[in-house]
């Protein structure tokens, strides 16, 4: 009986001591590779994905009649869905804190009408919160497109395309060509 009481006392002591130990610190956040720039993500992911969504639906009126363009098969919808997901996830990539706007030494694709990459990066760094909000606004429009795609709702997909365009322009007019006059 004595050994049982001793065993209980030792077990209780071990449990109390282990309960008092400080918790194990969480593992460090993973280091992400941000060597590719916002410009590269835009050119290789955002632009092709947005183009696919914009071109997925449309109406063309000609002298011979009206042609309606829309996904026809499950495979068409799947292909468009993939691009919506690329657009959604690309916004996570462009908002990563260490990602530069363009490769070092890069010049503007449209000098005179858009800022140089280092100017764009300086604007973004001055107000990273606004940049992130604009990126997530584009992500929200792509999520609306994804919802329309999953519902196979052509009208909603068409509307989402317009919203995607407006979200893109909202960011571009703030960071790429803030001095551009309307019209």
> Helices 74-94 and 47-55: crossing angle, nearest 10°?
150
Q: Is the pLDDT of residue 30 over 80?
A: no
Examine residue 22 and state whether it is found in any structural domain, yes or no.
no
Q: Which positions ≥6 away from 131 have C-beta within 8 Å? A: 95, 124, 171, 174, 175
Residue 183 has pLDDT above 70, yes or no: no
On whether residue 45 sits in a domain, the answer given is yes
In a domain, 18, yes or no: no
In a domain, 134, yes or no: yes
Domain range spanning residue 147?
A: 33-100+111-175
Task: Domain count for the chain, please give it.
Answer: 1
Q: What is the DSSP letter of 111?
A: B
146 in any annotated domain: yes
151 within a domain of the structure (yes/no): yes
Is residue 88, in this structure, part of any structural domain at all?
A: yes
Burial class (CB in 10 A: 0-12, 13-18, 19+), 17: exposed
Give the pLDDT band (50/70/90) at residue 8. low
Taking the complete model, does pTM exceed 0.75, yes or no? yes
Reported residue count of the chain is 183
CATH of the domain at 119: 1.20.120.10
For residue 142, what pLDDT band results from cuts at 50, 70 and 90? very high
pLDDT tier, 17 (very low <50, low <70, confident <90, very high otherwise): low
Structure confidence by residue, pLDDT tens digits, 56-89: 999 888 899 998 899 999 999 999 999 999 999 9
Structural domain includes residue 25: no
């Amino acid at each position: 009986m004595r050994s049982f009481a001793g065993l209980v006392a030792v077990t209780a002591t071990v449990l109390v001591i282990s309960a008092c130990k400080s918790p194990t610190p969480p593992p460090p956040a993973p280091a992400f590779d941000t060597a590719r720039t916002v410009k590269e993500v835009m050119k290789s992911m955002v632009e092709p994905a947005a183009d696919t969504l914009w071109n997925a639906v449309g109406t063309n009126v000609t002298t011979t009649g009206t042609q309606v363009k829309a996904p026809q098969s499950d495979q068409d919808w799947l292909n468009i869905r993939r691009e919506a997901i690329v657009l959604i996830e690309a916004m996570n990539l462009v908002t990563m804190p260490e990602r530069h706007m363009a490769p070092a030494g890069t010049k503007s694709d449209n000098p005179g009408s858009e800022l140089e990459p280092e100017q764009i990066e300086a604007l973004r760094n001055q107000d990273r919160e606004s940049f992130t909000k604009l990126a997530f606004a584009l992500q929200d429009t792509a999520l609306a497109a994804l919802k329309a795609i999953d519902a196979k709702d052509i009208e909603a997909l068409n509307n989402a395309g317009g919203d995607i365009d407006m979200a893109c322009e909202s960011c571009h007019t703030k960071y790429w060509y803030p001095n551009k006059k309307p019209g």
